[in-house]
Amino acid sequence: MALLETSQLDIHIGTTRVCHQLALHLNAGERWAILGRNGAGKTTLLHTLAGLRRPDSGAVRLGGKPVETLPRRRIARQVGVLLQDHLDAFPASVMETVLIGRHPYLGALQWEGPEDYALARAALLAVGLDEMENRNVATLSGGERRRLGIATLLTQDPALWLLDEPTNHLDVHQQIRILDLLQSRSQAEQKTLLLVMHDLNLALRYCDRFLLLFGAGETAQGSADEVLTRPVLERLYGHPMHALDGPRGPVWLPE
């Protein structure tokens, strides 16, 4: 059984069709990238898979059960979502924020215990924020806040990670550091990753499966050899593309 699957999935944004009759199967340990132009509906699709938005038709199933029938606490124990941007409506410290990842496992009036704090500190260490646990989140840079979002998901420890542009605001070193971290967790613990990506070459470096959104509901999916060809990429992005030989395989550049 797939960890998450869709059948006959139709999604629209106004008059724009994101996907039509989409059948998607996400299995344990797979690393997927969603690729497409701006406005193709990548974020909307991600939100639909997370159960944050209802599809126009079709089904999304988590562990074989329709996602809309599952309690939000149960979904949160299985699915972690990183949104494009973070809205911190109230003052909070870095530690208070990263501990949000433990909320699905706590009772209504239960406080975090030593084990929760240990998981949170390990997550902050993994993303390089271990010396900032008492900082107010409002004082963080955009890149530091992004890494805190990743740390919160590490603390949550779901089986499926739905990440909307996880490298937003990160410099080159931090992009590689964070994506290396996600890849290692996926490989070691059979975590499933689905990443909305704008950097084609990072997607190719870290993902083994790809879902392409062409617009007007048309999609394609498969391995890099199957779908990341020059004709397909030029149609996907509407721009001439050229491949160079890189140390880890082909590197795609716009002409």
Count up the domains in the chain and report the number. Answer: 1
pLDDT tens-digit map of 146-190: 999 999 999 999 999 999 999 999 999 999 999 999 999 999 999
Average pLDDT, integer, range 97-120: 94
Residue type at 195? L
Is 103 part of a structural domain of the chain? no
pLDDT at 181: 98
pLDDT of residue 113 exceeding 90, the answer is: yes
Average pLDDT, integer, range 205-213: 97
Is 8 part of a structural domain of the chain? yes
Is 127 part of a structural domain of the chain? no
Residue 136 · residue 157 · CB < 8 Å = no
pLDDT of residue 128 exceeding 90, the answer is: yes
Is 13 part of a structural domain of the chain? yes
Is 234 part of a structural domain of the chain? yes
What's the chain's average pLDDT? 96
pTM score:
0.96
Is 119 part of a structural domain of the chain? no
Average pLDDT, integer, range 59-74: 95
Residue 184 · residue 227 · CB < 8 Å = no
122 pLDDT band, cuts 50/70/90, is very high
Residues in the chain: 255
Q: Which domain holds residue 180?
A: 4-87+158-254
Residue-wise over 124-139: b if at least 16 C-beta within 10 A, else e? Answer: bebbbbeebbebebee
- CB neighbours of 165 closer than 8 A, spacing ≥ 6? 84, 196, 197, 198
Residue 179 · residue 167 · CB < 8 Å = yes
pLDDT of residue 5 exceeding 90, the answer is: yes
Cα(first)–Cα(last) distance of the chain, in Å?
A: 42
87 pLDDT band, cuts 50/70/90, is confident
pLDDT at 107: 85
86 pLDDT band, cuts 50/70/90, is confident
Is 142 part of a structural domain of the chain? no
- CB neighbours of 75 closer than 8 A, spacing ≥ 6? 50, 51, 62, 67
Is 67 part of a structural domain of the chain? yes
Q: How far is CA 77 from the centre of its chain?
A: 15
Question: What percent of the chain is predicted at pLDDT more than 70?
Answer: 100
pLDDT of residue 47 exceeding 90, the answer is: yes
pLDDT at 90: 86
**What is residue 63's three-state secondary structure?**
coil
Distance from C-alpha of 1 to C-alpha of 65, rounded to nearest angstrom: 11
Question: Looking at residue 167, which CATH number applies to its domain?
Answer: 3.40.50.300
Could you tell me which residues are beta bridge partners of residue 93? 136
pLDDT of residue 248 exceeding 90, the answer is: no
Residue 56 · residue 11 · CB < 8 Å = yes
Pairing verdict, β 249-254 and 241-246: antiparallel
